[in-house]
Amino acid sequence: MPVPDVMFCAQQIHVPPELPNIMKQFTKAAIRTQPRDVLQWSYGYFSALANGEPLPVKERVEMPVATQKNDSGLTPGLLKVLHKQLAKKETVELRELQIKWKNLCMPVEQLHDLLRLDDFAEGVPWMKFFALGCSALGGSLITSMKHACEILTEDPEGGAARIPYDTFAFLYSYLAGLDEGMAPAEVESYLAALKEQVARKEYMVGVADFSVKRVE
């Protein structure tokens, strides 16, 4: 038996009053983020929205600085999104990191490549993974640290991109420790000189500070 046609009038259709604004914000977020897979990203967006978590949304549209041939790899904007989502946890469960990564539509092969750089069998210390992400964005240690400062800073865009000295020292020491060609004494000497240099600036390190005397 065929289903009879049902007629609706405007009075019978209830549109939640918050729906237009939700869809407006969703559309603006999608335009800024430019996800490669809109459906996957949308799942992550509304899951985060429903759970009151930081949204997988870039602050602005960016030209990809991709590490993959198809221009779908990690970018500074995407790493900043991950940091907002995961930085509150000192150690992140691997499953959670995989889900957040997937929802940002980045290649899983790149995630596996980063995870192979250290032993993360008992969880992923977030700041270590963040450092590895910065290294994926920049070819040299100094370039990696520039990315770290620009992502972590609370300075206005175009400013000094300062971060606390202790944060800089941790990230720098960790990445330098993965470089077999860099002697620990050399790293310690550089950080000691940098600490003295920024002592008068309330121990905040900006891009200009560590670019003056650097370890190559």
Q: Which residues have C-beta within 8 Å of that of residue 39, sequence separation ≥ 6? A: none
- In terms of domains, do 113 and 162 share one? no
CA 9/CA 61 separation, integer angstroms? 41
What digits encode the pLDDT tens for the residues 160-196?
Answer: 899 999 999 999 999 999 988 889 999 999 999 999 9
Q: What is the CATH number of the domain that holds 195?
A: 1.10.238
% residues pLDDT > 70 (the chain): 88
- In terms of domains, do 155 and 54 share one? no
Domain interval for residue 158: 138-216
% residues pLDDT > 90 (the chain): 68
Six token digits for residue 98: 């995989």
Asked if the model's pLDDT at residue 142 lies above 50, the reply is yes
Q: How confident is the model at residue 64 (pLDDT cuts 50, 70, 90)?
A: low
Q: Which residues have C-beta within 8 Å of that of residue 67, sequence separation ≥ 6? A: 73, 74, 110, 136, 137
**Average pLDDT for residues 81-88, to the nearest whole number?**
97
Domain boundary among 117, 133, 149: 133
Asked if the model's pLDDT at residue 8 lies above 90, the reply is no
- In terms of domains, do 87 and 187 share one? no
The count of other CB atoms within 10 Å of the CB of residue 184 is 10
CA 208/CA 118 separation, integer angstroms? 30
Single pTM value for the model? 0.86
- In terms of domains, do 48 and 123 share one? yes
Q: What residues form DSSP beta bridges with 124?
A: 92
Residue 7 in any domain: the answer is: no
CA 171/CA 177 separation, integer angstroms? 10
Per the structure, the count of domains in the chain is 2
**Average pLDDT for residues 205-212, to the nearest whole number?**
75
Regarding predicted confidence, which is higher, 204 or 49? 49
- In terms of domains, do 54 and 149 share one? no
Asked if the model's pLDDT at residue 126 lies above 90, the reply is yes
Tell me what pLDDT residue 72 has. 57
Tell me what pLDDT residue 70 has. 47
Residue 19 in any domain: the answer is: no
The answer to whether the CB of 69 falls within 8 A of the CB of 95 is no
Tokens 């240690």 correspond to 141
CA 133/CA 111 separation, integer angstroms? 9
Residue 83 in any domain: the answer is: yes
